Amino acid sequence: DQQVKQNSPSLSVQEGRISILNCDYTNSMFDYFLWYKKYPAEGPTFLISISSIKDKNEDGRFTVFLNKSAKHLSLHIVPSQPGDSAVYFCAASANDYKLSFGAGTTVTVRA
């Protein structure tokens, strides 16, 4: 039973516009959330994270929002660039040094 769900397998967005990726979780013990980015034939690389004591974290063009009551987080990329085309994984941890991953969302940024 997947505890972290990304219900949109793919997202296509025009260059310069906003990309919004969504993630839902079921385990109320999760207290740390991360987004990873993955290019083909490479390992995932860390993008941005948020602790459960916050509801927003920003890093340049990337912002992660956390809604604990809804058990939902989202990643906003503004503006989207061609180099952002990749698979994005949402992950969560319950302070046990293990991560549960979502299935991923493939983002395609159109010129």
Partner 1 sequence: NAGVTQTPKFRVLKTGQSMTLLCAQDMNHEYMYWYRQDPGMGLRLIHYSVGEGTTAKGEVPDGYNVSRLKKQNFLLGLESAAPSQTSVYFCASIPGRRGIQETQYFGPGTRLLVL
Q: Interface with partner 1 by CB under 8 A: which residues?
A: 2, 4, 6, 9, 32, 34, 36, 41-46, 49, 51, 89, 91, 93, 95, 97-99, 101-104
Residue entry with tokens 């319950």 = 94
Query: How near is the Cβ of 13 to partner 1 at its closest, in Å?
Result: 22
Which CB sits closer to partner 1, 43 or 111?
Answer: 43
Which CB sits closer to partner 1, 74 or 93?
Answer: 93
Residue entry with tokens 């916050």 = 54
Instruction: Tell me the C-alpha distance between 33 and 83, whole Å.
Output: 23
Which CB sits closer to partner 1, 28 or 51?
Answer: 51
| 41 Rama sector, left if φ>0, alpha if ψ -120 to 50, beta otherwise | left
